[in-house]
Amino acid sequence: MPRVKYRTADVDLVARMMRAEAEGEGIQGMLYVGNVIVNRAVADCLDFRDVRTVEDVIYQVQGGNYSFEAVQKGNLFYSPAREKERTLARRVLDNWRDHPAKFALWYFNPYGPCPPTWYDQPFTGQFKLHCFYEPIAGTCESVYRG
C-alpha cells in the first residue's frame, strides 16, 4: 500500500522535483529528496498540517516563497519528467525509505558543513551536498507512522 495516495500527475511532479533538486547526487540523492516530499505529505504537524497531497507539498508557500528552491527558480523542475525519475518516484511513493532521509522533513545544501540543527530540528545525516533533518522526537509522530 502506498504511503500517500497518488495519481500519474503526482508521479511526474515528484520525478521532476527529484531531478531538479538532486540529479547531481545520483539515484540515491534523488530517492532521499523523494523521501522528504512523501514525509511532508504524511506529516500532520509543524509546517505541514494542511499539506496532504503531493501537489500540496510541491507548491507549498512558506514565508512568501515556494518551499522548494527548484520551484522558485525553475531549474529543471519545469522540464518534462523522464522515465528514469518516474520509476524512482513510484518507489518512494509506494514505500521506499532510508536513512538519513527516512523520517526527514527538511533538507538543504549549506555550501559548508551541516549545522547540528536546522530551525531547532536535529540533523540526521548528510548525503553528498545535502543535509537532512527530522522533527524533534515527540513533535511529529505521524511522520514516523506514515
**pLDDT one-digit tens code per residue, 110-141:** 989 999 999 999 999 999 999 999 999 999 99
pLDDT at 146 over 80: no
pLDDT at 93: 98
CATH 3.40.710.10 for domain 8-145, yes or no, is: no
The pLDDT assigned to 111 comes to 87
Q: With beta carbons less than 8 A apart as the criterion, state whether 71 and 58 touch.
A: yes
Mean pLDDT taken over the chain = 95
- Segments making up each domain of the chain, as ranges: 8-145
Burial class (CB in 10 A: 0-12, 13-18, 19+), 134: buried
The pLDDT value given to residue 78: 86
User: What is the DSSP annotation of 100-144?
Assistant: TTTT-SEEE--SSSPPSEETTEEEEEEETTEEEE-PPTTS-HHHH
The dihedrals phi and psi of 117, each to the nearest 5 degrees, come to -140, 160
Tell me, what amino acid is at 86?
A: R
Please state the pTM of the whole predicted model: 0.96
